[in-house]
Every structure is written in C-alpha cells, then in structure tokens.
Amino acid sequence: MKAMRFLMLAAGLAMAAGAQAGDPAVGERLVTEKDCAACHKRLIGGDGSKLYLRSDRKVKSLPQLHAQVSFCATQLKTGWFPEDEEDVVAWLNHRYYHFK
C-alpha cells in the first residue's frame, strides 16, 4: 500500500516536472491546430516561419519567447492554459530559437 502511494506521488512529480519543461511534440500540434502561421504568413510571406528565423527577430531570450507566445496566443484567443503555452515555447525553442 505504501509503495503504491509512493509510486503515485513519484508519477505526479514527474508529470509536474514535465509540464514545467514543456513538451515540444504537444507544442507543435497546438501551433498547427491553431494555425499560428496564418497570420505570420500575411506579415512576412513564405510559410511564416521566417518570422522566427530572420536576423532582426524580436525574441532574443527564453523569457521574451514566453512573453511573445502569450501575446500572440491572446490575440488569437486560443484559450490556452499556461501549460499549453509552455509546450508551444518548448516547440518553438526546439525548432527555431535554441535558447538554453
């Protein structure tokens, strides 16, 4: 019984830690689902991803990436929870920004 409770606690902690770090795979799905790129395409053309990769891009740190994702997600009225934004940040960072 005790061991069971310990396992459940450990699993809970692992999940909490995972949520904090963000899951890039989930983030990719969210970005695709909400079609974040549609608006960026209108701004910059191509598939919109140039916005993340241009030399004069706005976002220069992980906290800035968080702030920008929050801002855009609000504009788009995604209804995302902080954990969802966390996943999206993880995805964009993994794919484009590579902040430590």
Which residues are at the interface with ligand HEC (CB under 6 A)? 31, 34, 36, 39-40, 43, 51-52, 57-59, 65, 68-69, 72-73, 75-76, 78, 88, 92
From the CB of 59, what's the least distance to ligand HEC, in Å? Answer: 3
Contact residues for 51 (Cβ-Cβ < 8 A; gap 6+): 40, 43, 44, 57
Computed over its alpha carbons, how large is the radius of gyration of the chain?
Answer: 16
The residue behind tokens 């701004």 is 43
Report residue 38 CA to chain centroid gap. Answer: 17
From the CB of 22, what's the least distance to ligand HEC, in Å? Answer: 12
Residue 79 DSSP one-character state: -
Which of 52/90 has CB closer to ligand HEC?
52
Which of 2/42 has CB closer to ligand HEC?
42
Which of 20/75 has CB closer to ligand HEC?
75
From the CB of 55, what's the least distance to ligand HEC, in Å? Answer: 10
Q: Report d(CA 53, CA 5) in Å as an integer.
A: 47
